[in-house]
Amino acid sequence: MSFKPHFARFLAADPGRLHVAAHSHHPWPDATYEAQVQCWLDAARLADRKWDKVFGEVVPRAQAHVARRLGLADPATVAFGPNTHGFVLRLLSLLPPGRPARVLTTDGEFHSFARQLRRLEEDGLAEATRVKVAPFADFAERFAAAAAEGGHDLVFFSQVFFNSGHAVQDLGALVGAVPDAAAVIVIDGYHGFLALPTDLAAVEGRAFYLAGGYKYAMAGEGAAFLHAPPGRGLRPRDTGWFASFGTLEAEDDGPVPYAAGGARFLGATFDPVGLYRFNAVMDWLDGLGLTVAAIHAHVRALQRRFVAGLAALGRDSLHPGRLVVPVEAPARGHFLAFRTPHAAAIHRRLMDANVVADRRGELLRFGFGLYHDADDIDRLCDALGRLLP
């Protein structure tokens, strides 16, 4: 099937562009256009009272969409914010004061966490153990063994690693390996949400989950979210006034109050337009009857077609043998990463030809989504046939 007609506005904005970086800036479906306009109209009509609608209607709808797709029992455990880095800072502010935080993580985390952790290490505020993601075959066992040693304040790992596409298939095994009841466990799910079928029911009481709308959820910026394990009463030191929105008018000289559920991790004033778009995308998917499993199957089929097309080209600079995670591997996300010394040259030639891919060092990444069909894959292979060194 082709879902390209549902992305007509984005695709028509630059008809000559072939965008194959769905893991970066995913095009938005047309349903988001009306949602964006509606946000503006609500602001004009309601002015200050728009927040009643945002918190009374828009946020609860978005929470319900997230909870249903992740198997969460209570939508109130979900909090929204402009980006995941804000949530990372609040999670870090949970860690014990007076000594360096003991952190277990990997060498494959995205910059929103990895950069921040490195900066804390520079000032002696954190001591990190990083488990190498490669080799992929025994990563889960090695990480679980490191977690089982205990003594960690924070355990942080990705569901799908941004640089390779390798996916953790059993999140519960890694979460369950952490023996310290007080440890903060965080799963970075940004490359997993709305890409891989994900059920957090087994870990929702123990682990935080971070993701957002910028990539596979097709909603753009400003719709990041956090699931917080219920019932733990955590009090982040980095706290905004929305974290206790209902008590703002109360005069209280006691401890700083916090809302229940995920709302205790809220920040401050934000632009709600991303949540309008997010709800529009989720409603659109529901209207089509498209599940995450169906999206995943669509993308996997496109990935296989692409790899077969590359094999037919027979170019050493970019062939299936250069895949970091083979296309046959079940533990894989929605982009394909190739390690090639020609990555910079290929990327430059592609961009000059208005083919938008993605490069990180010697890694060249191609990501596919619902806005692609078989014709797009054939067009990409034709372009590579002309451009590959």
CB 368 within 8 A of CB 207: no
> Strands 101-106, 18-19: parallel, antiparallel or unpaired by DSSP?
unpaired
- Its CATH class, for the domain covering 4-31+290-387, is alpha beta
Match 């692409």 to its residue by tokens.
Answer: 306
Q: Which fold has domain 32-285?
A: Aspartate Aminotransferase; domain 2 (3.40.640)
pLDDT reported for residue 245: 72
| H or E element in which residue 224 lies | strand 224-227
Over the stretch 45-89, which tens digit does the pLDDT of each residue have?
999 999 999 999 999 999 999 999 999 999 999 999 999 999 999
Over the stretch 197-252, which tens digit does the pLDDT of each residue have?
999 999 999 999 999 999 999 999 999 999 999 998 899 999 999 998 766 556 57
pLDDT reported for residue 251: 57
The sign of the dihedral angle between the CA atoms of 260, 61, 276, 47 is: negative
CB 337 within 8 A of CB 364: yes
Q: What distance in Å separates the CA atoms of residue 20 and residue 190, rounded to the nearest whole number?
A: 18
* Regions of the chain with pLDDT less than 50: none
pLDDT reported for residue 248: 59
pLDDT reported for residue 80: 98
Q: List the chain domain ranges.
A: 4-31+290-387, 32-285
| H or E element in which residue 186 lies | strand 184-188
> Looking at the DSSP assignment, which residues form a beta bridge with residue 387?
none
pLDDT reported for residue 250: 60
CB 306 within 8 A of CB 366: yes
Amino acid at 359: R
Amino acid at 245: F
pLDDT reported for residue 346: 97
Tally of CB atoms within 10 A around 169: 12
pLDDT reported for residue 253: 75
Match 């109209």 to its residue by tokens.
Answer: 41
